[in-house]
Chain A
């Protein structure tokens, strides 16, 4: 609702001014350091932005998508939409252009996803950096983040107990150099065998000459060992998150 009101207001001169002011704020936080574009677009490690004769389409494209092969990030995915429009308006103002009502069009995209509170809490837990390698994201890529050690999660367990007890049918036992270890086999070629060594998190992708390793089905590895850092309540929240994002 609030966003909609903003969109309607964007055409008004007062709002244009507000937008540029907001953009100046976003700019200082995200673009102005000495490593990057400098205060008021004066230039630094990255090019000057003031009085360059840029047009709004160019600014919009560059700010949203970044420039591949350079330090210029794509802000389209990291800035809130209003902030994005604001910083575009601000850089426009450094080039003598007033915000165009068409900026509003850019702001209309699919609405930002909002997760229900429990799922949002689960999301934070899934990736929680303070757990080090004892977090789900060490082995699972979900919702665009995390390491894809396993195939994409397709079946979401019903609750914490089921999550701890996820069967590890694909985990085999590899023996190499006289040592046996739990392994997720990636490929078994004539010359090479590639496995994820699950002995300790993070899993290690190891490549063996085929002759030097044997693979046996089944292992003593338990998914419960990978979920230990979480309480049941935390795992329930994670289940809510997975339900919200896994198709």
Chain B
């Protein structure tokens, strides 16, 4: 009996240890807020009733103004860690903005590098930085001194770059990279957080002897794409890391990579594995547990590299552990995150013509592919029905909030010889407006299971900043004109707005220090995709770049 009690207690304890933190509280510990990637905070001091009084309390200028500021700040125990586009790291007092230390990485200045950095990971007393030239670096969180540094790849060879935030999981740090629009074979790499030693690597393009290799024609796997350029999630109870993988390469032309169904007995739904998929890896070994390919044969540069939002919801009367995932195709996928089973998919864009719809078991119908002899109008275009800027989920409203982009492109495929690390698009495209309209955005609230849209906030230009949801029933984001604003999470009504002086391309967060809630937002436009889409508007030239973190709070009671 005593032993029994002990076991039950032990189990309870183990369950408590592995319970998934979903909402953030005082800290903003990781890229997606928590490893469930909700970008949702339980803080509610700032709420729908008082947000009108929100005012700036401090600002920090990074001094690194070339490419805007796309990062997500991390906050742990009152210290805010920020990385700028050229991999400069700052530790700031989260209440005052006082600089505690800074680390200047000596990024080589070479032409042709559109440097970006979307965030850090913090854990085990260290700050983890992925650099544009493919190094992983661990800094002492207290001093900013280098603890270890390791080359993940050589940019001169792979043409790849680390721009996404690493993910700190248990005793490891996991990192992906860009490169999938070039002749490159994608991977995820995990390093021991203490020593920097390699823990595991998973290639997103199955190599010889691996399951899925038969879905590649000839040697095409060597340059098959599948870049892991954004940040994944983690479920501690299942010990699974989830990550989205990018398009197959060459992007638009599949003739050299598509092993036909007839040749290899490949089932539809498994083409060029594991590109344009969600993969679930064992966190300790990096072994593949399951995968779900969202865009088989991806010939549109639709990717599937974005955030994996982990929610538990009722589906047909049963509580299910789900993974909600949107890709550039404009469809949001809902998967069972235990097994990878397809549960549903719904479009969030209004302009989608690449398929007429999706069947109950996840097959896309009447697919329109780019061809070689003439341009084909395809919606959404490669800029995506949603860009990389992240969605948010609020358990109070039960909605996911997604920044959506309405745009199309004229795609034309073109056979291309690969040259390692060089652009390998297999075609070209020109951005265009959707038929009968102009490029524009909207921010929507959806029920993640039914796909029913609860409200929409329309916007004239493009919304390229991430969303932040809070228990104050607010949704925050910013626009390229420089406005940072809050919407009512239930109705989408605008409640507050502030002109920050530079366009928004980053991810805002919230945290509290000594009982006071703060909202921090990176500012600074500077975006290739943004520029391409804004060609329609001459006034877009005026959207300001910069690199400043703006922090807001309610005025303190006198």
Asked if B529 is at the interface (CB within 8 A of a chain A CB), the reply is yes
Asked if A8 is at the interface (CB within 8 A of a chain B CB), the reply is no
Asked if B403 is at the interface (CB within 8 A of a chain A CB), the reply is no
* In the complex, chain B residues whose CB is within 8 Å of the CB of A35: 528-529, 532
Q: Which of B186-217 contact A (CB under 8 A)?
A: 191, 195-198, 201, 207
Asked if A33 is at the interface (CB within 8 A of a chain B CB), the reply is yes
Asked if A30 is at the interface (CB within 8 A of a chain B CB), the reply is yes
* In the complex, chain B residues whose CB is within 8 Å of the CB of A9: none
Residue of A nearest to B529 (CB): A45
Asked if B369 is at the interface (CB within 8 A of a chain A CB), the reply is no
Binds A, one of B105-113, B258-266, B268-276: B105-113
* In the complex, chain A residues whose CB is within 8 Å of the CB of B151: 138, 147, 202
Binds B, one of A70-78, A153-161, A233-241: A70-78
Report Cα–Cα, A144/B155, bound state, in Å: 11
Report Cα–Cα, A129/B154, bound state, in Å: 10
We find that the number of chain B residues with CB closer than 8 angstroms to chain A is 47
A205 touches B111 (CB 8 A): no
Report Cα–Cα, A129/B151, bound state, in Å: 14
Q: Which of A72, A138, A145, A203 contacts B111 (CB 8 A)?
A: A72
**Interface code A190-220, partner B: CB below 8 Å = 1, 0 otherwise?**
0000000101111111110000000000000
Asked if B492 is at the interface (CB within 8 A of a chain A CB), the reply is no
B207 touches A204 (CB 8 A): no
Asked if A104 is at the interface (CB within 8 A of a chain B CB), the reply is no
Q: Which of B112, B148, B197, B425 contacts A33 (CB 8 A)?
A: B425
B528 touches A29 (CB 8 A): no
Binds A, one of B356-364, B415-423, B441-449: B415-423
A207 touches B109 (CB 8 A): no
Asked if B531 is at the interface (CB within 8 A of a chain A CB), the reply is yes
Chain A: minimal CB distance from B108 (Å) = 10
B185 touches A73 (CB 8 A): no
Q: How large is the interface on A (under 10, 10 to 19, 20 to 34, 35 or more residues)?
A: 35 or more
Report Cα–Cα, A45/B529, bound state, in Å: 6
Chain B: minimal CB distance from A88 (Å) = 16
A72 touches B112 (CB 8 A): yes
**Interface code A123-162, partner B: CB below 8 Å = 1, 0 otherwise?**
0000101101100011000001111000000000000000
Asked if A32 is at the interface (CB within 8 A of a chain B CB), the reply is yes
Q: Which of B410-436 contact A (CB under 8 A)?
A: 414, 416, 420, 422-423, 425, 428-431
Residue of A nearest to B185 (CB): A129
Asked if A92 is at the interface (CB within 8 A of a chain B CB), the reply is no
Q: Which of B115-173 contact A (CB under 8 A)?
A: 145-152, 154, 156-158
A204 touches B150 (CB 8 A): yes
* In the complex, chain B residues whose CB is within 8 Å of the CB of A72: 111-112
Given contacts A73-B112, A133-B198, A197-B195, contact A205 B529 (CB under 8 A): no
Residue of A nearest to B430 (CB): A39
Chain A: minimal CB distance from B37 (Å) = 26
Chain B: minimal CB distance from A73 (Å) = 3
Asked if B222 is at the interface (CB within 8 A of a chain A CB), the reply is yes
Residue of B nearest to A148 (CB): B151
* In the complex, chain A residues whose CB is within 8 Å of the CB of B110: 66, 68, 74
* In the complex, chain B residues whose CB is within 8 Å of the CB of A202: 150-152, 198
Report Cα–Cα, A207/B145, bound state, in Å: 9
A197 touches B196 (CB 8 A): yes
Q: Which of A50-72 contact B (CB under 8 A)?
A: 65-72
Label chain B's interface by main secondary structure. mixed
Given contacts A129-B185, A197-B195, contact A46 B111 (CB under 8 A): no
B185 touches A206 (CB 8 A): no
Q: Which of A68, A71, A130 contacts B109 (CB 8 A)?
A: A68
B222 touches A129 (CB 8 A): yes
Asked if B381 is at the interface (CB within 8 A of a chain A CB), the reply is yes
* In the complex, chain A residues whose CB is within 8 Å of the CB of B201: 132-133
Chain B: minimal CB distance from A226 (Å) = 14
Asked if B286 is at the interface (CB within 8 A of a chain A CB), the reply is no
Report Cα–Cα, A206/B196, bound state, in Å: 8
B532 touches A66 (CB 8 A): no
A204 touches B430 (CB 8 A): no
A34 touches B111 (CB 8 A): no
Given contacts A45-B528, A46-B528, A73-B112, contact A145 B154 (CB under 8 A): yes
* In the complex, chain B residues whose CB is within 8 Å of the CB of A42: 430
Report Cα–Cα, A202/B147, bound state, in Å: 16
Asked if B66 is at the interface (CB within 8 A of a chain A CB), the reply is yes
Report Cα–Cα, A65/B154, bound state, in Å: 21
Asked if B409 is at the interface (CB within 8 A of a chain A CB), the reply is yes
B158 touches A68 (CB 8 A): no
* In the complex, chain B residues whose CB is within 8 Å of the CB of A201: 198
* In the complex, chain B residues whose CB is within 8 Å of the CB of A69: 66, 109, 111
Given contacts A147-B154, A207-B146, contact A44 B197 (CB under 8 A): no
Q: Which of A1-50 contact B (CB under 8 A)?
A: 28-30, 32-35, 38-39, 42-46
Chain B: minimal CB distance from A51 (Å) = 15
A70 touches B420 (CB 8 A): no
* In the complex, chain A residues whose CB is within 8 Å of the CB of B423: 29-30, 33
* In the complex, chain A residues whose CB is within 8 Å of the CB of B109: 68-69
Asked if B383 is at the interface (CB within 8 A of a chain A CB), the reply is yes
Report Cα–Cα, A38/B429, bound state, in Å: 8
- For this complex, 20 residue pairs linking A to B, each with C-beta atoms less than 8 Å apart, are A28-B414, A28-B428, A30-B423, A33-B425, A34-B409, A34-B431, A34-B532, A35-B528, A35-B532, A38-B430, A43-B535, A44-B431, A44-B531, A127-B157, A147-B154, A197-B196, A200-B198, A202-B151, A204-B195, A204-B197
A interface residues, Cβ below 8 angstroms from B? 28-30, 32-35, 38-39, 42-46, 65-74, 78, 127, 129-130, 132-133, 137-138, 144-147, 197, 199-207
Query: Can you list the 10 inter-chain pairs with the closest CB atoms, starting with the nearest?
Result: A66-B111, A73-B112, A71-B114, A45-B528, A204-B196, A45-B532, A44-B532, A147-B151, A205-B149, A34-B431
